[in-house]
C-alpha cells in the first residue's frame, strides 16, 4: 500500500502540512519520492505515524519522539506498554482534577470553604506530574487525602436541587426517627413518618418502588455492617429500629430476625 501525503493525512486524520513538517524536521521521512517529486509513504511509515500520534497524545514533544523512535533498542511492544502506563497515570491525574472541581462546586455552594492554597493543589500536582512525565520518573500515587476528599466531593456532583432535596429528606427522616426511638415504638406516628420519608428517599434513586424491596433494604441496614455503622453511629440500635418501622410501614410481619 502506497500513499501520497494527502492519502496518509486523510487516513491518520492529520493535515498534509503536519506530514510535511514531520518530513522537514526528520521525524517521519517518506519511503521515497516519485518522478514528479511527490512524497510516497509505505506501511512502515503508517506504523511509525501511529507511534508518533500515540506519543503526541501524551504531550511528548517531537524532539523527544525522534530520540525514542530512532533509538536502535526501540521495542514497540514495550513502548506501548509504557504508553499504556502513562495513559493510566494521566487518568489518575484527571481523577484528581475532577475531585478538585467537585470540591470547588461544593465550596461555591457554601458547604465547604477552601483556602486559597487548597484551590490550587490539584494544579500543583499536575505540574509535578508533567515534570515527572517529561523526565521519565515513575514514582507517584500517594494522593491519599485528595482521593478521600474526592469521594466526599462526589456528592457535590449532584445538582444543587437534588442535593438539597436529598439531604432535606434524610435530615427530616432522622429527626423523626430519633423521636420515635426515644418513645421506643416503631409503630408510632414519628416512626411511620420516618419510614415514609425513607421511601421518598429511596424513590429518589429507584425507578420503581415496591414494598418488598423497601423491606429488603431495611433488613440490609441491619445485616450489612456498612449501613449499620452509618445509622448506629449516632444512636446504637437505630438501624434495627428503622428496620422495624419500615417492616410495619410495608406491612411485613415482624418475625424472627436477630441482631
Interface positions, 163-192, toward DNA (CB under 7 A):
none
From residue 127, give the alpha-carbon distance in Å to each of 58, 83, 123, 135. 14, 19, 6, 13
Nearer to DNA, 34 or 151 (CB): 34
Neighbour tally for 214: CB within 10 Å: 21
Check: CB of residue 177 under 8 Å from CB of residue 242: yes
5 part of the interface to DNA, by CB under 7 A: yes
HSE value, Cβ hemisphere, 13 Å, CA-based, for 253: 2
Report the Cα 18 to chain-centroid distance in Å.
34
Which residues in the 169-208 window bind its own copies by CB under 8 A?
A: 184-187, 205-208
Residues that contact its own copies, how many (by CB under 8 A): 93
Residue 161 grid cell: 436541587
223 part of the interface to its own copies, by CB under 8 A: yes
90 part of the interface to its own copies, by CB under 8 A: yes
Nearer to its own copies, 155 or 179 (CB): 155
Residues that contact DNA, how many (by CB under 7 A): 21
Q: Which residue has the cell 518530513?
A: 23
HSE value, Cβ hemisphere, 13 Å, CA-based, for 11: 17
Q: Is the dihedral of CA 117, 121, 123, 127 positive or negative?
A: positive
21 part of the interface to DNA, by CB under 7 A: yes
18 part of the interface to DNA, by CB under 7 A: yes
35 part of the interface to DNA, by CB under 7 A: yes
Q: Which of 2, 12, 16, 223 binds DNA (CB under 7 A)?
A: 16
Nearer to its own copies, 112 or 158 (CB): 158
Q: Which of 1, 13, 37, 145 binds DNA (CB under 7 A)?
A: 37
CB of 186 to DNA, least distance (A): 29
CB of 51 to its own copies, least distance (A): 9
Q: Which residue has the cell 505515524?
A: 49
Residue 21 grid cell: 513538517
1 part of the interface to DNA, by CB under 7 A: no
Check: CB of residue 69 under 8 Å from CB of residue 48: yes
Which residues sit opposite 41 in a β-bridge?
A: 3
74 part of the interface to its own copies, by CB under 8 A: no
Query: How far apart are alpha carbons 140 and 131 in whole angstroms?
Result: 12
By a kind-dependent CB cut-off of 5 to 8 A, residue 95 interacts, out of DNA, its own copies, none, with: its own copies
38 part of the interface to DNA, by CB under 7 A: yes
Nearer to DNA, 55 or 247 (CB): 55
DSSP, collapsed to helix, strand or coil, labels residue 25 as coil
Nearer to DNA, 41 or 181 (CB): 41
Phi-psi group of 60: left, alpha or beta (phi > 0 → left; psi -120 to 50 → alpha; rest → beta): beta
Nearer to DNA, 49 or 222 (CB): 49
Which residues in this chain contact DNA in the complex, by CB under 7 A? 4-7, 14-18, 20-21, 34-39, 56, 61-63
Amino acid at each position: 500500500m502506497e500513499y501520497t501525503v494527502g492519502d496518509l493525512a486523510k487516513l491518520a486524520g492529520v493535515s498534509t502540512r503536519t506530514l510535511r513538517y514531520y518530513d522537514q524536521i526528520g521525524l517521519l521521512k517518506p519511503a521515497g519520492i516519485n518522478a514528479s517529486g511527490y512524497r510516497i509513504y509505505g506501511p512502515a511509515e503508517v506504523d511509525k505515524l501511529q507511534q508518533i500520534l500515540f506519543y503526541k497524545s501524551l504531550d511528548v514533544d517531537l524532539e523527544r519522539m525522534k530520540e525514542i523512535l530512532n533509538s536502535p533498542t526501540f521495542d514497540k511492544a514495550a513502548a506501548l506498554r509504557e504508553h499504556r502506563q502513562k495513559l493510566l497515570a494521566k487518568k489518575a491525574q484527571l481523577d484528581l482534577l475532577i475531585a478538585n472541581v467537585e470540591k470547588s462546586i461544593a465550596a461555591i455552594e457554601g458547604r465547604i470553604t477552601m483556602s486559597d492554597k487548597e484551590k490550587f493543589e490539584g494544579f500543583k500536582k499536575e505540574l509535578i506530574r508533567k515534570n515527572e512525565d517529561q523526565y521519565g520518573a515513575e514514582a507517584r500515587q500517594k494522593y491519599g487525602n485528595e482521593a478521600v476528599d474526592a469521594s466526599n466531593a462526589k456528592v457535590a456532583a449532584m445538582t444543587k436541587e437534588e442535593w438539597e432535596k436529598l439531604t432535606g429528606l434524610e435530615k427530616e427522616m432522622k429527626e423523626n426517627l430519633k423521636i420515635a426511638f426515644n418513645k421506643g415504638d416503631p409503630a408510632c406516628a414519628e416512626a411511620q413518618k420516618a419510614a415514609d420519608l425513607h421511601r421518598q428517599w429511596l424513590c429518589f434513586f429507584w425507578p420503581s418502588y415496591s414494598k418488598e424491596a423497601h423491606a429488603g433494604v431495611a433488613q440490609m441496614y441491619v445485616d450489612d455492617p456498612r449501613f449499620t455503622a452509618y445509622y448506629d453511629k449516632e444512636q446504637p440500635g437505630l438501624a434495627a429500629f428503622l428496620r422495624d418501622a419500615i417492616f410495619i410501614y410495608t406491612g411485613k410481619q415482624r418475625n424472627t430476625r436477630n441482631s
